[in-house]
């Protein structure tokens, strides 16, 4: 991948080259061209566009793409899990892009954090790399028994080399959301066969067992996305997207309500404190006035008591 300048437009672009050692590999060239065609057929704010595809004089294929400034979701996750609302926002955006791809009959088949670019200070997710994408009505692009995609994010049917459709992207997004929330993968192993065994045969640890504050509706969504029986999983990306948006809205509303209640409680406390202070000031003022500014009392009469003559002089 290279950063370049478009001389006619005066803007920066990214050039993605087919590796030199694969230039003579017809299968690799077919996959590269398929990626360019798949991405160029999709217009969506959460899907990386492809402007052009061309070939150098020495026979190396390359595609021209937007030049994004940011980091991949994989790089972001190296610093730890995301906040719950942030993870849901990323999942909504990726699901939105995938729903558009599925609408056009294209399955990505390689959803993973390394293929999601975060831009706009981490607020926008852009889906990259449609190299493993295929048309839903196309024949299988791999030989029987050959797996494609990154193992940890593969669906059971994909890991077993079976036919796949849009529900394999549903599974992979479920894995990625699990990782965004917990910082770990739901299916793990020391070697690839162990990971595949876990994907096909084992149930993942509950999200709330790893991170207790995850809302139950989010946990239920992930569980449904990770059902091994493809017939019981979300039937499509549109349905998963709808639930993601609904849960996000509910949580956002709940946060607003909690903030409103906290603000109202704070205002009540302020009024109580101000009222108490006001009463104390009034009482203090009354005491001070009575103490230092009390008016003098006038003498209306004088009492004269009997006198005793102690001088011994009768005339006194």
Indicate if the alpha-carbon torsion angle 67, 62, 51, 37 is positive or negative: negative
Examine residue 140 and state whether it is found in any structural domain, yes or no: yes
Check residue 264 and give its pLDDT.
63
Span 161-196, pLDDT tens digits: 898 999 999 999 999 999 999 999 999 998 899 999
Are residues 227 and 194 both part of a single domain?
A: yes
Q: Look at residue 140 in the predicted model and tell me its pLDDT.
A: 37
Is-catalytic flag, 110?
A: yes
Whether 237 has a pLDDT exceeding 80, the answer reads yes
In a domain, 191, yes or no: yes
Please tell me whether residues 44 and 115 are part of one structural domain: no
The strand pair at 61-66 and 52-55 is best described as: antiparallel
Tell me: do 19 and 138 sit in the same domain. no
Q: Indicate whether 309 belongs to any domain.
A: no
DSSP state for residue 294 in the 8-state scheme: P
Q: State the pLDDT confidence band at 134, using cuts at 50, 70 and 90.
A: low
Statement to judge: residues 32 and 157 lie in one domain: no
**Domain closes at, from 254, 272, 295:** 254
Q: Which two tokens stand for residue 4?
A: 């370049």
Domain boundary among 204, 227, 254: 254
Q: Would you give the DSSP letter of residue 306?
A: P
Provide, rounded to the nearest whole percent, the portion of the chain with pLDDT above 90.
46
pLDDT of residue 120: 87
- Residue 190 tokens read as 């020391």
* CB distance 156 to 228 below 8 Å: yes
Residue 163 forms part of a structural domain: yes
Kindly state the tokens that stand for 186.
């739901």
Same domain, 89 and 106: yes
Which of 56-60, 76-80, 101-105 holds the top average pLDDT? 76-80
Q: Spell 228-257 as b/e; 16+ CB within 10 A means b.
A: eebeebbebbbebbebbeebbeebeeeeee
CATH classification at residue 13:
3.30.200.20
Q: What local confidence, expressed as pLDDT, does residue 143 receive?
A: 40
Cα atoms in the 13 Å half-sphere on the side-chain side of 163 = 6
Report, as an integer, the average pLDDT of 95-101.
95
The structural domain count of the chain equals 2
pLDDT of the residue at 138? 42
Note whether 29 and 149 are same-domain residues: no
pLDDT recorded at residue 129: 82
The answer to whether position 275 is within a domain reads no
Domain CATH number, residue 165 = 1.10.510.10
Q: Cα separation of 89 and 46, whole Å?
A: 12
Q: What are the backbone angles phi and psi of residue 4, rounded to the nearest 5°?
A: -140, 170
Phi/psi-derived region of residue 149, left when phi > 0, alpha when psi is between -120 and 50, beta in every other case: left
Reported as a pLDDT band with limits 50, 70 and 90, residue 73 is very high
Residue 305, domain member (yes or no): no
Residues 47, 94 contacting (CB under 8 angstroms): no
166 or 30, higher pLDDT: 166
CA distance 92 to 250: 14
| Most distant CA pair in the chain, distance | 153
pLDDT bin (cut points 50, 70, 90) of residue 216 is very high
Q: What is the mean pLDDT of the chain?
A: 83
Distance of CA 247 to the CA centre of its chain: 13
How would residue 284 be classed by pLDDT, with cut points 50, 70 and 90?
A: confident
**Residue numbers of the domain that contains 80:** 71-254
Selecting among 52, 110, 165, 308, the annotated active-site residue is 110
Whether residues 109 and 175 share a domain: the answer is yes
Alpha carbon separation from 156 to 94, 130, 163 (Å, rounded): 21, 20, 11
Q: Which of the residue ranges 30-34, 49-53, 299-303 would you say has the lowest mean pLDDT?
A: 299-303
- Three-class SS of residue 119? strand
Structural domain ending residue among the three candidates 66, 85, 113: 66
Q: Say whether 172 sits in a helix, a strand or coil.
A: helix
CA nearest neighbour of 208 among 199, 195, 217: 217
Same domain, 47 and 143: no
Are 52 and 75 part of one and the same domain?
A: no
pLDDT of residue 1: 80
Closest residue by Cα to residue 115 from 99, 133, 103, 102: 133
Residues 163 and 21 in one domain: no
Domain co-membership, 118 together with 243: yes
């Amino acid at each position: 991948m290279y950063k370049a300048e478009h001389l006619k437009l005066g803007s920066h672009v990214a050039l993605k080259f087919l590796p030199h050692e694969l230039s003579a590999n017809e299968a690799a060239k077919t996959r590269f061209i398929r990626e360019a065609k798949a991405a160029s057929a999709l217009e969506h704010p959460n899907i990386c566009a492809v402007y052009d595809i061309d070939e150098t004089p020495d026979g190396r294929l390359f595609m021209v793409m937007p030049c994004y400034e940011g980091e991949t979701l994989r790089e972001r996750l190296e610093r730890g899990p995301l906040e719950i609302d942030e993870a849901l926002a990323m999942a909504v955006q990726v699901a939105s892009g995938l729903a558009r791809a599925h609408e056009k009959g294209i399955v990505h088949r390689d959803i993973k954090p390394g293929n999601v670019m975060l831009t706009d200070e981490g607020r926008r997710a852009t889906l990259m790399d449609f190299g493993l994408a295929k048309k839903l009505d196309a024949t299988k692009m791999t030989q029987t028994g050959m797996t494609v995609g990154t193992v940890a994010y593969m669906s059971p049917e994909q890991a077993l080399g079976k036919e796949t459709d849009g529900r394999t992207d549903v599974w992979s997004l479920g894995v990625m959301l699990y990782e965004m929330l917990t910082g770990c993968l739901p299916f793990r192993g020391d070697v690839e066969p162990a990971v595949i065994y876990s994907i096909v045969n084992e149930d993942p640890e509950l999200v709330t067992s790893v991170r207790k504050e995850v809302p139950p509706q989010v946990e239920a969504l992930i569980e449904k996305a990770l059902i091994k029986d493809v017939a019981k999983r979300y039937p499509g990306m549109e349905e998963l997207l709808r639930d993601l948006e609904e849960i996000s809205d509910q949580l956002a509303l709940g946060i607003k309500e909690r903030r409103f209640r906290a603000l109202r409680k704070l205002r009540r406390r302020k009024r109580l404190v101000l009222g108490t202070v006001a009463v104390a000031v009034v009482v203090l003022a009354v005491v001070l006035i009575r103490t230092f500014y009390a008016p003098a009392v006038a003498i209306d009469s004088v009492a004269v008591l009997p006198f005793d003559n102690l001088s011994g002089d009768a005339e006194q």
